[in-house]
Amino acid sequence: MTRLIIGAMVRAIGAYPSGWRYPGAHRDPRGDAAVLRRAAEVAEGARLDYLFFGDWLATGPDLEFQDPYLVARVDPIAAITYLAGVTSRIGLIATANTSYSDPYTLARATASADLLSGGRAGLNLVTGGEPRAAANHGADFHALNRSRHDRAVEFEIVLRRLWDSFDDDAIVADAARGVYLDPQKLHPTDFHGEHLSVAGPLNVPRPVQGHLPIVHAGISPRSRLFAAQSADLALVAVGDRQQAIAIREELRSLAFESGRDDRTLKVIAPVLPIVGETREHAQSIADELSELVQIAEDWPDGAPAGFPPHRSLAQLSQLVGLDLAGLSPDRAVSPPLVAEFSAAGQELVEIVAERTGRNPSGERPPTLRHLVVAASVNASMIVGTPDDIAAEFEAWGDAGAVDGFNVLSAVQPQQFEEFAFRVVPELARRGIMRTEYEGETLREHLGLAQPVSVHAADGAQAAVGEHVASVVPSTAGY
């Protein structure tokens, strides 16, 4: 039995493209406040480690078909600050993009969130660029993308120096002597790099946690290097258990080579469980969600502008090695048709059968739509009973594949509450999750020690310069 970190990646209208269409689902982002509050209360009652809020800095009508939850969403730092007031123990992680954010402003907002929540805030640093987001910030997308990892390295260093502006005992507040501040314990930032220059100090006391836990996700070599050297949690999307084991070992090795204790790097995988009373019930939910996903052939005169090109029979044809043009998306997939598929196509049929219970030889065969959806919707799914899902979590943990999971919910609030009310008790019964919170802060939930201030040792400025040199490799090949 391996104790796992279990958090929830919150997407208010659901994390599946058709989740908002499912009966009873939350659909209107203008009502997100009530949904988020309810989710926080349920998650804290289940003793989850944290709620995680991603971000996207642009919108457009094409997102309706690609990722509907990106169309309109509240700011992540606003979300965790709001939820800090209605919760008392659960961690709250917000996302910020280092390419567009100002480090002083972000350090101030996050230190404030940590103080207001009693030490429960975390920060997911992302570096990805997107043309519309760049335009929204008056930036050159191509130039920004070339330097984004180098800027992120400097950004993380500056954040930590700003958070450490005040020593923990810098505020003396001695009314009798009339001494409020010990000036020797307020430190300038004085950072001057290639991409950032920040004087400091920050005008917020040191966070309760010293430094907020830093999260990073990414698949490029530079992203993995940044996560291994600088993050507390590395979010890694993986296809199967063996791939997860290999990536975790790689990240831990990179962390060790960078001079840190590799055990302090926690590797977390996103997962989307579909929970049912029975396995057949769970499969029926996954089946309905698949049928509600629109594909390109649903529009006789052509899909709308910006529709995902991979969600089509044309793309499926390439995968299965058979021309499916002109066929109905709802054409049943029969054994003779499967016999003509490539090995990849036949594997896809098996995935659909596992998720939806539809078998080409059965009474309810899959349709071409089911295959398109399984091939094009990027989600690591587990479909089954609470026991099925808990057993899979346990197997991954015991195999050393992950240190925990970021749980997504296809439908809000139904599937989120099914996981919290039915899967979590089974995880707790198996010893995979706690039954009560054992700490007060997010760092304590994650098993992370309190960091020492970067200003505590003599020669802090020199150490920062050496750190910058050691973590900024050549950009060649990236």
Write out the DSSP string of 86-132: T-SSSEEEEEEETTT--HHHHHHHHHHHHHHHTS-EEEEEE----HH
| 304 shares a domain with 211 | no
Q: Is the pLDDT of residue 405 over 60?
A: yes
103 and 178, same domain (yes or no): yes
22 domain-assigned = yes
pLDDT greater than 90 at residue 39: yes
Summarised one tens digit per residue, pLDDT across range 239-249 is 899 999 999 99
| Predicted confidence band of residue 475 (pLDDT cuts 50, 70, 90) | very low
CATH number at residue 414: 3.20.20.30
Q: Taking residues 295-306, report their average pLDDT.
A: 93
Which pLDDT belongs to residue 182? 96
User: If you compute the radius of gyration of the chain from its CA atoms, what whole number of angstroms results?
Assistant: 24
Q: What is the pLDDT of residue 273?
A: 98
Q: Which two tokens stand for residue 468?
A: 């910058």
Residue 387 lies in a domain: yes
What percentage of the chain has pLDDT greater than the value 70? 95
Cα separation, 66 vs 147, in Å, equals 27
Query: Does one domain contain both 40 and 133?
Result: yes
CA distance 26 to 39: 12
Asked if residue 288 belongs to a domain, the reply is no
Range of the domain at 335: 294-376
Q: Which residue has the tokens 């989307």?
A: 272
Q: What is residue 323's predicted lDDT score, i.e. its pLDDT? A: 96
Same-domain check for residues 323 and 434? no
In this structure, what token pair is assigned to residue 265? 């790097």
In this structure, the number of other CB atoms found within 10 A of the CB of residue 410 comes to: 26
Mean pLDDT of 20-34: 97
443 in the same domain as 371: no
Please determine, for residue 465, whether its predicted confidence score (pLDDT) is greater than 60. no
406 domain residue, yes or no: yes
Residue range 87-114: mean pLDDT, rounded: 97
Together in a domain, 368 and 427: no
- Name the average pLDDT for the chain: 93
pTM above 0.85, yes or no: yes
Of residues 462 and 202, the one with the higher pLDDT is: 202
Phi, psi dihedral angles at 382 (to 5 degrees): -125, 120
Q: What is the pLDDT of residues 181-218, one digit of tens each?
A: 999 999 999 999 999 999 999 999 999 999 999 999 98
CA–CA distance from 343 to each of 2, 97, 126, 261, 360 (Å)? Answer: 35, 40, 36, 43, 16
Do 184 and 118 reside in the same domain of the chain?
A: yes
Average pLDDT over residues 293-314: 94
The last residue of one of the domains, among 351, 376, 401, is 376
Confidence band of 54 (pLDDT split at 50, 70, 90): very high
Cα-flanking dihedrals φ and ψ of residue 13, to 5°? Answer: -100, 20
Residue 75 in domain: yes
- pLDDT for 457 equals 60
Residue 281 lies in a domain: no
**Is 283 within the bounds of a domain?**
no
pLDDT for residue 177 is more than 50 = yes
For the segment 119-176, what is each residue's pLDDT rounded down to a tens digit? 999 999 999 778 999 999 999 988 888 899 999 999 999 999 999 999 999 999 999 9
Q: What angle do CA 10, 427, 379 make, to 5 degrees?
A: 40
Q: How far apart are CA 441 and CA 122, in angstroms?
A: 10
Helix (H, G, I), strand (E, B) or coil at 259: coil
pLDDT at 458: 42
The pLDDT of residue 219 is: 83
Number of folded domains that form the chain: 2
Nearest of 100, 199, 207, 222 to residue 153 by alpha carbon: 222
Instruction: Give the distance between the most distant pair of CA atoms in the chain.
Output: 90
Position 463 scores a pLDDT of 45
**pLDDT of res. 466:** 52
The last residue of a domain, from among 328, 353, 376: 376
Q: Based on the number of CB atoms within 10 Å of its own CB, is 108 exposed (0-12), middle (13-18) or buried (19 or more)?
A: middle
Residues 335 and 398 in one domain: no
Q: For residues 49 and 164, state if they share a domain.
A: yes
Q: 122-154: buried (b, 16+ CB within 10 Å) or exposed (e) per residue?
A: bbbbbbbbbeebbeeeebebeebbebbbbbbbb
Q: How far apart are CA 77 and CA 80, in angstroms?
A: 5
Average pLDDT over residues 467-474: 42
Res 464: pLDDT: 44
Alpha-carbon distances, residue 330 vs 287, 295, 323, 334 (angstroms): 13, 11, 16, 12
The whole-angstrom separation of Cα 215 and Cα 398 is 23
Q: Which two tokens stand for residue 139?
A: 């930036």
Q: Do both 370 and 391 map to the same domain?
A: no
Residue 380 identity: S
What is the mean predicted confidence (pLDDT) over 59-74? 93
310 contacts: CB under 8 Å, gap ≥ 6: 375, 376
* Together in a domain, 164 and 105: yes
User: CB-based contacts of 20: which residues, under 8 Å, 6+ apart?
Assistant: 13, 14, 26, 27, 68
Do 367 and 390 fall within a single domain? no
pLDDT of residue 218: 82
Whether residue 286 is contained in a domain is answered as no
Average pLDDT over residues 382-399: 97
Domain boundary among 327, 350, 376: 376
228 pLDDT band, cuts 50/70/90, is very high
End-to-end C-alpha distance for the chain, whole angstroms: 39
